Amino acid sequence: MQTLTSVFEMQTLAEDLRSKGQIIGLVPTMGALHEGHLSLIRLAAERADTVVVSIFVNPTQFGPNEDFARYPRELGSDLDKCLSAGAAVVFAPSADELYPKGYSTYVQEEYISKPLEGVSRPTHFRGVTTIVAKLFNIVRPDFAVFGQKDAQQVAVIKKMVNDLHFTVDIVTAPTLRDPDGLALSSRNRHLTNTQRQEALVLHRALQKAKSMVESGECRSDRLIAEATHLLGEHRRVRIIYTSVVDRCTMEPIRDVIPGKAIMAIAAWVDEVRLIDNIIL
Return residues touching ligand PAF (CB under 6 A).
28-30, 58, 61, 128, 131-132, 150, 153
> Residue 136 or residue 280: which is nearer to ligand PAF going by CB?
136
* Virtual torsion, Cα 143, 3, 56, 172, nearest 10 deg: 20
CA 187 to CA 205: how far, in whole Å?
20
For the question of residue 124 being annotated catalytic, the response is no
Q: Identify the active-site residue in 37, 124, 190, 234.
A: 37
> Residue 32 or residue 280: which is nearer to ligand PAF going by CB?
32
> Residue 173 or residue 213: which is nearer to ligand PAF going by CB?
173
> Residue 39 or residue 153: which is nearer to ligand PAF going by CB?
153
In the complex, what is the shortest distance from the CB of residue 61 to ligand PAF, in angstroms, rounded to a whole number?
A: 6
> Residue 142 or residue 150: which is nearer to ligand PAF going by CB?
150
DSSP string across 88-105: SEEE---HHHHS-TT---
In the complex, what is the shortest distance from the CB of residue 112 to ligand PAF, in angstroms, rounded to a whole number?
A: 15
Report yes or no: 37 and 173 within 8 Å, Cβ to Cβ. no
DSSP string across 214-277: HTT--BHHHHHHHHHHHHHT-TTEEEEEEEEEETTT--B-SB--TTTEEEEEEEEETTEEEEEE
CA 266 to CA 227: how far, in whole Å?
12
Q: What angle do CA 112, 117, 123 make, to 5 degrees?
A: 80
In the complex, what is the shortest distance from the CB of residue 97 to ligand PAF, in angstroms, rounded to a whole number?
A: 15
Give the contacts of 207 (CB within 8 A, at least 6 positions apart).
181, 278
CA 14 to CA 11: how far, in whole Å?
5
Q: What angle do CA 200, 202, 203 make, to 5 degrees?
A: 75
Report yes or no: 41 and 85 within 8 Å, Cβ to Cβ. yes
- CA 28 to chain centroid: 9
In the complex, what is the shortest distance from the CB of residue 239 to ligand PAF, in angstroms, rounded to a whole number?
A: 22
CA 254 to CA 267: how far, in whole Å?
22
In the complex, what is the shortest distance from the CB of residue 137 to ligand PAF, in angstroms, rounded to a whole number?
A: 14
In the complex, what is the shortest distance from the CB of residue 193 to ligand PAF, in angstroms, rounded to a whole number?
A: 26
> Residue 64 or residue 216: which is nearer to ligand PAF going by CB?
64
Q: Which residues are designated catalytic?
A: 37
